[in-house]
């Protein structure tokens, strides 16, 4: 009998672990626990958020080690690191443009709200595709993902 497809969450973790190994890092239980938390919580997490949660699974882990692991995950391309301008870096699992959770960000420079947006408008997708194609041609750089942030005022703040 065919095994039921792995859940999305499991799939993400397996994929991430493959990437980590390929980049020459070992999968330690601490790293595993951090990946668990990132796939479970989603969203824009500070290192402290991750630390608090990961502590439930893996009490031996320290905040410094969470920071180091997050940075490693950024380096190998599993996690995006955002600086939303409030002095606290946020981390989010990378989702490729074809992934169902791929989204762009609006960042309100007044209240600091971070708004995910994935209901893309047509010209946005067209534009990005054209830009990526042009850049790949010009620089011979194979673009596999992008990280788009728009800064401005959210509807609340714009009204004031």
- What are the φ and ψ backbone dihedral angles of 108, each rounded to 5 degrees? -80, 120
Q: What is the CA radius of gyration of the chain?
A: 18
* Helix runs in the chain, H state only: 8-22, 29-41, 47-57, 63-75, 122-139, 155-159
Nearer to Zn ion, 68 or 113 (CB): 113
Select the residue interacting with Zn ion from 110, 144, 147, 149 (CB under 5 A).
110
Of the candidate spans 19-27, 71-79, 94-102, 131-139, the one that interacts with Zn ion by CB under 5 A turns out to be 94-102
Least separation, in Å, of the C-beta of 92 and Zn ion? Answer: 5
Task: Compute CA distances 142 → 17, 27, 86, 105, 139, whole Å.
Answer: 23, 28, 32, 23, 9
Which residues from 140-159 bind Zn ion, rule CB under 5 A? 154, 157
Asked if residue 75 binds Zn ion (CB under 5 A), the reply is no
Select the residue interacting with Zn ion from 36, 95, 101, 116 (CB under 5 A).
116
Nearer to Zn ion, 15 or 96 (CB): 96
Task: Compute CA distances 27 → 19, 20, 30, 91, whole Å.
Answer: 10, 7, 8, 19
Nearer to Zn ion, 27 or 111 (CB): 111
Which residues are near Zn ion by CB under 5 A? 97, 108, 110-111, 113, 116, 154, 157
């Amino acid at each position: 009998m065919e095994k039921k497809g792995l859940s999305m969450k499991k799939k993400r973790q397996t994929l991430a672990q493959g990437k980590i190994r390929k980049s020459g890092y070992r999968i330690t239980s601490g790293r595993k626990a951090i990946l668990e938390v990132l796939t479970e919580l989603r969203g824009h997490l500070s290192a402290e958020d991750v630390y608090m949660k990961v502590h439930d699974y893996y009490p031996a882990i320290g905040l410094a080690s969470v920071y180091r692991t997050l940075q490693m995950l950024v380096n190998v391309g599993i996690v995006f690191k955002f600086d939303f301008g409030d002095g606290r870096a946020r981390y989010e699992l990378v989702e490729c443009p074809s992934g169902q959770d791929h989204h762009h960000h609006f960042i309100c420079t007044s209240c600091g709200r971070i708004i995910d947006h994935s209901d893309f408008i047509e010209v946005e997708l067209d534009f990005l595709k054209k830009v990526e194609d042009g850049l790949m041609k010009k620089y011979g750089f194979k673009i596999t993902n992008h990280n788009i942030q728009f800064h401005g005022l959210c509807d609340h703040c714009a009204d004031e």
